[in-house]
Amino acid sequence: MTQMKSKYEIFREKIKVILYGTDTVLGRLFDLVLLGLILLSVLLVMMETVQGINQKYHSQLIMCEWVITVFFTIEYILRIISIQKPVRYIFSFYGIIDLLAVLPMYLSIFFPGASILSVVRALRFFRLFKILHIPQISHQSVQLREAIEASKEKILVFIYFVLISTVIIGSVMYVIEGKESGFTSIPVSIYWTIVTLTTVGYGDISPITPLGQFVASFVMILGYGIIAVPTGIVTAEFAKNSLKNSTISTKKACEKCGSQVHFDNAKYCYECGTELPNI
């Protein structure tokens, strides 16, 4: 009995190394196969929605999708089995995505059309960075995230003001243009305002009265100008980070007080006056 359990343990260990590890040949190979299958499955779902392709190859597409779904299901079960704390994996970001990636196909047995939801598999692509495991890239994405996070609050305040302006401008345009030119209701007018303010400009709705065109011109110039604000916020963050990295060093940590950032040529900690290690 103990021996059997031990065999199972060894199996679990092996599986874990393959599924979660990226250092062994098998582990890396599995990751690459997985990536390929994710890409394939997303393409399959896409192709299923293209009239011409679907009519010709419907059964083949469905079969392939089932094969991949079964593979993903086995992978999901093995991931749960092999890990120490399965509950933590199940409710983690990747765990939920892995589940969502297989559910739609099983649902499609009862609700035809649910298979379209398989497209959430695209979210599994986020594993890429884990798989590639290139320190440089993950360093870059950390920097990206930091800069975006640091500017998050400012950008939210900005979007809040933009949304209020959007409601006001949308209502004004509804009053000016009336129902003839497509501004059929305030929500539609607000939709138009967002289309215009973000400089997308579909042209499905556009002002036709002179006054409407005048106000629209104002909105466009506003939208053209205020794009400077989020850009300025994020850029300043990036600039701050990259400047910090270049004239100031983060490699000399003070051993006493733990402060991280010093001048490149600093000899003493600016915080507590302790001598810094010479690097």
Residues 62-81 contacting a copy of itself, CB under 8 A: none
Nearest Cα neighbor of 126 from 49, 191, 34, 193 is 34
* C-alpha–C-alpha distance, residues 23 and 16, integer Å: 12
11 counts as binding a copy of itself under rule CB under 8 A: no
Cβ-contact 117, 107 below 8 angstroms: yes
Q: Which is nearer to a copy of itself, 9 or 271 (CB)?
A: 271
In the region spanning residues 70 to 129, those forming contacts with a copy of itself, defined by CB under 8 A, are: 116-117, 119-120, 122-123, 125-126, 128
CA distances from 240 to 34, 252, 259 (A): 38, 19, 18
* Sign of the alpha-carbon torsion through 18, 21, 24, 26: positive
45 counts as binding a copy of itself under rule CB under 8 A: yes
234 counts as binding a copy of itself under rule CB under 8 A: yes
238 counts as binding a copy of itself under rule CB under 8 A: yes
140 counts as binding a copy of itself under rule CB under 8 A: yes
211 counts as binding a copy of itself under rule CB under 8 A: no
Instruction: Report in angstroms how near the CB of residue 23 gets to a copy of itself at its nearest.
Output: 23
Q: Which of 66, 70, 244, 255 binds a copy of itself (CB under 8 A)?
A: 244
In the region spanning residues 151 to 190, those forming contacts with a copy of itself, defined by CB under 8 A, are: 153-155, 157-160, 162, 164, 167-168, 171, 174-175, 184-188, 190
Instruction: Report in angstroms how near the CB of residue 87 gets to a copy of itself at its nearest.
Output: 27
Burial class (CB in 10 A: 0-12, 13-18, 19+), 163: exposed
Q: Which of 36, 248, 255, 277 binds a copy of itself (CB under 8 A)?
A: 248
Q: Which is nearer to a copy of itself, 17 or 209 (CB)?
A: 209
Q: Which one of the spans 15-23, 81-89, 98-106, 217-225 is the region binding a copy of itself (CB under 8 A)?
A: 217-225
Q: Which of 237, 277, 278, 279 binds a copy of itself (CB under 8 A)?
A: 237
